[in-house]
Amino acid sequence: MVKRKSFSEMDCPIAQCLEVAGEWWSPLILRNVLIGEMTKFDQIQRDLSIAPNVLADRLATLVEGGLLERNQYSTRPPRFEYVATEAGKDFKTVLDAMYSWGAKWTNAPK
């Protein structure tokens, strides 16, 4: 995997946002969790057809960044679900803006 540039030292709110949620898959993962229907690893993985190792990495970054929290719902085997924190819920405005822009300026179905 190619290591991307870190924006952690940049004194800019946009750069700091990208540091946490700027990977390609992150907005789509957040979309699924915020909808509330896909909070479990296997549900998200199946819906996005994302490699499990990539999903695990993105989820860890979103948890570490404070947008999601990881809650265990089964001990045998250990299973977790992901729920949006207040910061994650606030990110919905970013997703709404991305959706509006995409609906207006791309060929994506509305």
The per-residue pLDDT for 110 is: 67
The topology (CATH level 3) of 21-102 is Arc Repressor Mutant, subunit A (1.10.10)
Encoded tokens for 44? 């998200």
Give residues with Cβ within 8 angstroms of 68, minimum separation 6.
30, 33, 59, 62, 82, 83, 84, 85, 88
pLDDT tens for the chain, 110 residues long, are 455 677 877 889 888 888 888 888 999 999 999 987 899 999 999 999 999 999 999 999 999 999 999 999 999 999 999 999 999 999 999 999 999 989 999 987 76
pTM for this entry: 0.86
Contact 55, 48 (CB under 8 A): yes
